[in-house]
Amino acid sequence: MNFQERADARRTASVLTVLLMGVFIANVDVAVVNVATPSIREGLGASDSELQLVISAYTLSYAMLLVTGARLGATHGYRRLFMVGLGLFTLASGACGLAWRADVLIGTRVVQGIGAALLVPQVLTGIQLNFTGAARTRAIGYYALALSISAALGQVLGGALVAANLFGSGWRPIFLVNLPIGAVVMVAAWRILPVHREVRPQRLDLLGMGTLSLAVLLAVLPLMLGHTRHWPAWTWLSLIASVAPFVAFIIVERRIERRGGHPLVNLSLLAQRTIGWGLAAYGAALSTYFALLFTLALYLQEGLGESALMSGIALVSWVLAFGVGGLALSRLPRRMLPQAAPFGFVILAAAYGAVSVSMFSAQSSAALLFVTLGFGGFGTGVGLTAIIRAVTAAVPPRHASDMSGLISMTAQIAGVVGVAFFGTVYFSGAEAAGRAGATGAMHAFGIVATFFALTALMAAAAAWWSAGYSSASGTMGAISEL
C-alpha cells in the first residue's frame, strides 16, 4: 500500500468513525435513562406517569420525525443536517441534565429526540454516498454493530454513572456526559465529513410530514404506555384512530409523486418486494432484540436479584458475537450472499429456542446464558447486516436518504412494538406462573424466549422472500457488486 492509499484509508476510516459516533450517542440515550428512573423519581419527585414520559418522550419525537430528518438531509445536505441534529441533541442533553422539574425534563427530552431524528438518518445516507464496494459492506457491518453496542452500553453506562453519584449529582451525568462528547464530534464532523455536491433544495412535503407524524404519534404512544397502564380504552381507540392518517399519508404521497413532485417518502421503494420484505425481516428481528434488553433486565434484576450493571454485562457475548457476524459477511462467497440473512435469523431462532429450553428446565447457569446469547448475537449480526446491505443496494444514490429514513424509522417502531408486546408476554407469564422470585422469572423468560424464537423464524422467512424476489428481479447482481 503506497502513501496515497494509506492516506485514503485513514480518511475513509475517519469519515466512518464520525458518522458512527452520531448514531452511537443517539442510540445510547434510548437505553441510558431506563436504569436511572429511581434516581430521577427521588431527585425530582416525579410521578409514575412523569417517569414514563421521561423515557417515552424521547423515543416518540425521535420516531415521529426520522423520515422528515432523512428528507431534510436530501434537500439541504447530509453533512449540514448531521451537524444541526448533533448540535440540537447536545444542547438539549445539557438542558436535560440541568432540569429542575419533571415537566422540564420531559420537554427537553422531546427536543433531544428531535435532534436525534435530524442526526441519525444522515449516518446511513453518508455511508451510501461516501463508500462503495467492499468498503460499503464493512461500513454497514460497523453500523449494525454500533446499533447493538450502543443499546447494550446504554444500560451499563446508565447504571455506572448513577451508582457513581458524581459530586452528589445523582442521575444528571447521564445527560451531561453528552456535552463534551457532542462538542468533540461536532468539531470532527465539520473538519472531516465531505460535502455532497449534488444537493438540490426542494420544497418540503409539509402535508406528508403532518399526516405521517400524526399517524406515528397515535400508533406509538399507546404502544409505549399501554402495557404499564394495563391497556385502558384510550390506547385501543388511539391505535384504531392511527389508521386514518396513515391512509391519508399514502394518498397524499401518491398524489405528489404522480404530479412529479418530491414526496416525503417514495412509496415506490416500499413497493419493491426486495425492500418491503427486507424491512419486514429487519423490523421483526430488531423487535426481539430491543425486547430482549427489556425482559432480560427484568429477569436478571427482579428475578435473580442481580444489579443493573450485571444485566448489562450479560450482553457482552451478544455484542462481541454480533460484531463478528456482521463483519464476517464481507468474507462470504458471492453465491452465498442472498441467503445470508435467512441463515442468520435461523441461528437467532435456534439461540432463543435454547434459552427457552434452559429456562423451562430450570437451568439458570450464567455460563449457559452467556453462550446462547453469543450465538444469538452472531445470528443477528449476520442477518441485520445482510438485510441493510441488500435494501440499500436496491436503490440508486439519489434515494439514499429515503432508504435511510425508512430503515431508521423501522428500527424505532420495531423497538417500541417489541417492548410493548413481548413485555406484556413476560408480565403475563410471571402472573400465570403464580410464583415469585427466580422460579416465576425463569418461567416468564422461558415463555418470552419461545415467542422470540417464533418471531425470528418469521424474520428468516421474510428475509428468504426478500432474497428470492431480489434474485428474480436481478437486484442481487447489484448487491454482489458491492
Cell numbers that stand for 126 in this block: 453518508
d(CA 209, CA 215): 10
pLDDT tens-digit map of 370-398: 899 999 999 998 898 888 888 877 777 66
d(CA 90, CA 97): 11
276 by Cβ neighbours in 10 Å (0-12 / 13-18 / 19+) ranks as middle
Contact 114, 61 (CB under 8 A): yes
Q: What is the pLDDT of residue 432?
A: 66
Residue 410 pLDDT > 90: no
d(CA 358, CA 450): 11
Contact 162, 170 (CB under 8 A): yes
Cell numbers that stand for 115 in this block: 435532534
Q: What is the pLDDT of residue 7?
A: 62
pLDDT tens-digit map of 35-94: 676 677 777 887 766 776 777 788 778 877 887 888 888 778 888 899 999 999 999 999
Q: Give mean pLDDT, residues 338-345.
A: 86
Q: Which of 241, 264, 246, 296 lies closest to 444, judged by CA?
A: 296
Q: Which of 24, 154, 127 lies closest to 73, judged by CA?
A: 127
Contact 55, 36 (CB under 8 A): no
Mean pLDDT across the chain: 80
pLDDT tens-digit map of 443-456: 889 999 999 999 99
- Helix, strand, or coil (residue 350): helix
198 by Cβ neighbours in 10 Å (0-12 / 13-18 / 19+) ranks as exposed
pLDDT tens-digit map of 173-209: 888 888 999 999 999 989 888 877 655 566 777 788 8
d(CA 151, CA 166): 23
Other CB atoms within 10 A of residue 398 CB: 11
d(CA 15, CA 127): 9
Would you state the torsion angle of the CA atoms of residues 109, 31, 305, 287, taken in this order, to the nearest 10 degrees?
Answer: 120
Q: What is the pLDDT of residue 442?
A: 87
Contact 125, 70 (CB under 8 A): yes
pLDDT tens-digit map of 275-333: 888 999 999 998 998 888 778 877 887 778 776 667 667 777 887 888 787 777 767 66
Confidence of residue 477 (pLDDT cuts 50, 70, 90): very low
d(CA 211, CA 457): 33
CA-to-CA dists, residue 460 to 196, 302, 336, 348, 386, angstroms = 36, 32, 15, 9, 12
Instruction: Give residues with Cβ within 8 angstroms of 264, minimum separation 6.
Output: 67, 68, 71, 204, 205, 208, 209, 212, 253
d(CA 394, CA 270): 11
456 by Cβ neighbours in 10 Å (0-12 / 13-18 / 19+) ranks as buried
Q: Which residue has the cell 441488500?
A: 390
Cell numbers that stand for 416 in this block: 417500541
Cell numbers that stand for 425 in this block: 408476554
CA-to-CA dists, residue 81 to 64, 119, 266, angstroms = 17, 6, 20
Contact 303, 447 (CB under 8 A): no
Q: What is the pLDDT of residue 456?
A: 95
Q: What is the pLDDT of residue 8?
A: 63
Contact 440, 449 (CB under 8 A): no
Q: Which residue has the cell 425470528?
A: 456
Confidence of residue 457 (pLDDT cuts 50, 70, 90): very high
d(CA 288, CA 294): 10
52 by Cβ neighbours in 10 Å (0-12 / 13-18 / 19+) ranks as middle
d(CA 382, CA 139): 14
